[in-house]
Structure 1
Amino acid sequence: MLKLSDVLVSQKEIESFEELVPAIQEIARHGERFFRIDVKPPFSDTPEDWEDRLEAAFSGLIR
């Protein structure tokens, strides 16, 4: 299971929400089946609908 907090800790080079979305997509492509959103991304550009956008990125709805 992929946890958002693990992504944020392991990929310190991510500096914005817009950089986080493709990182989540890439991880999902490599076989992760489940995604748990356990923290809010700490970026100033995190939108109000951030949970929906990350779920969509993980499930492949955003290309």
Structure 2
Amino acid sequence: MIYLSDILTQEHELETFEGLLEIVRQKARDGEIHLDVDIKPPFNEAPKDWQNQIEMAFTFPNR
């Protein structure tokens, strides 16, 4: 299991919500099987449905 807070801590170069989605997709492609969205991402441009988008990126990483 990977936590969103761990991704945000490990990936210091992240500057956008879209960049976060790409990292989440890559984690899923690399074999992670569970993602816990334990924190709201600190990006101003994060949409209202940010949690949904993160979960979709993880569940369907090749879209």
Q: Offset of 1:18 from its aligned partner?
A: 1.0
Is the contact between residue 37 and residue 51 of structure 1 (CA under 8 Å) also seen in structure 2?
Answer: yes
Aligned length: 63
Aligned partner of 2:15 in structure 1 is 15
Percent identity over the alignment?
A: 41
CA 1:30–1:49 in 2, change beyond 3 Å: closer, same or farther?
A: same
The two structures, once aligned, show a CA RMSD in angstroms of: 1.2
Please give the TM-score of this superposition, normalised by the length of structure 2.
0.94
Moved over 3 A (4+): none
Please give the TM-score of this superposition, normalised by the length of structure 1.
0.94
Q: Which runs of 5+ in 1 are unaligned?
A: none
Q: Which runs of 5+ in 2 are unaligned?
A: none
